[in-house]
């Protein structure tokens, strides 16, 4: 089984279950436990909150939700390389990304 996790909490659970060797992709926030560092990163935030005020972050998030856009990008090419991956979709990817992943026969749970 190959597992790709979009959530840090899911990544930790995968590690706790002893499945780190099955982990083939993570989000940019998945940095714990240390054993997952170096796993390919398949999602990234569309905004850089380190360079924004709280008001600007709130505005960007609200605009994204209002416009139906995801706050994250998904590396479909990297995911396509493992078309039978299991993804944890609790992070709320966009409808467009969802369609794209389903076209790659990625199972969302």
pLDDT at 32: 92
pLDDT at 71: 83
Please give the Cα distance from 89 to 79 (Å, whole number).
14
For 4-14, how does the pLDDT look when each residue is reduced to its tens digit (9 = 90+)?
888 899 899 99
- List the strands of the sheet with 86-88, edge to edge: 72-74, 41-45, 23-27, 3-5, 86-88, 107-108
76 vs 96: which has the higher pLDDT = 76
Please give the Cα distance from 56 to 39 (Å, whole number).
31
pLDDT at 83: 46
Mean pLDDT of all residues in 14-30: 88
pTM: 0.63
Mean pLDDT of all residues in 91-108: 58
What domains can you pick out in the chain, each with its CATH number?
3-47+54-108 (3.40.50)
Q: Is the pLDDT of residue 79 over 90?
A: no
């Amino acid at each position: 089984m190959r597992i790709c996790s979009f959530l840090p909490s899911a990544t930790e659970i995968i590690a706790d279950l002893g499945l780190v060797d099955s982990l083939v992709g993570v989000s940019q926030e998945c940095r714990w436990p240390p054993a997952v560092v170096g796993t390919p990163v398949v999602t990234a935030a569309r905004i850089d909150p380190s360079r924004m005020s709280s008001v600007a972050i709130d505005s960007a998030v609200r605009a994204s939700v209002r416009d139906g856009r995801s706050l994250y990008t998904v590396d479909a090419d990297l995911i396509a390389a493992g078309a039978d991956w299991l993804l944890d979709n609790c992070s709320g990817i966009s409808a467009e990304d969802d369609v794209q992943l389903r076209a790659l026969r990625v199972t969302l749970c």
